[in-house]
Amino acid sequence: MTLTTVLCPLDFSVASAPLVRYATTLAAATGAELRLLHVLEAQPELPVAGLSRPLDLDIALQLASYRLEAEQAGVTVSTTIVQGDAATEIVAEARRYPADLILIGAHGRTGLTRFLMGSTAEAVVRTAPCATLLVKNCQADEYRQSA
């Protein structure tokens, strides 16, 4: 399998920074282009058009920071922010982009929390149009290209 495009959805949890480093390392090793994605889930009590909330600006700045990190590693990278259900939008972006691989972080929720909140990663794995790599507790140096 040749990787030309890697989609990396981010939720800005504590796992996001290591996931971006992992994705950057993978993209640099394979020569793939990296696309960083964040999905804004609609919040009815707040306006959602454009970057109208202070939180939206924080998200845009964080994405820009991750983009710079990847570019400094020699990776071609793009970023996008969309609105909707996370799993649905991740899969839709993988089709639009189109992605050869979705690299997604796993939070490892179990029991009642997983039942109540669902699993975005699980839904993406089930419906993705391409290969999906689920990364749990990732470290950037864990990926190395073999000889």
Which of these, 132, 122, 108, lies nearest to 7 by C-alpha position? 132
> What global pTM score does this model have?
0.81
Q: What pLDDT score was predicted for residue 75?
A: 98
By CB atoms closer than 10 A (0-12, 13-18, 19+), residue 46 is: exposed
DSSP-derived secondary structure letter, 31: T
Spell out the per-residue pLDDT of the chain, length 147, in tens: 789 999 999 998 888 899 999 999 999 999 999 999 999 987 655 555 555 555 578 888 999 999 999 999 999 999 999 999 999 999 999 999 999 999 998 765 555 544 444 588 889 999 999 999 988 765 544 445 544
Tokens standing for residue 69? 């990190």
Which of these, 62, 49, 52, lies nearest to 20 by C-alpha position? 62
CATH entry, 5-142, from 3.40.50.720, 3.40.50.2000, 3.40.50.620, 3.40.120.10: 3.40.50.620
The ranges assigned to domains in the chain are: 5-142
CB 90 within 8 A of CB 37: yes
Residue 50: Cβ within 10 Å count: 7
Please give the Cα distance from 3 to 97 (Å, whole number). 13
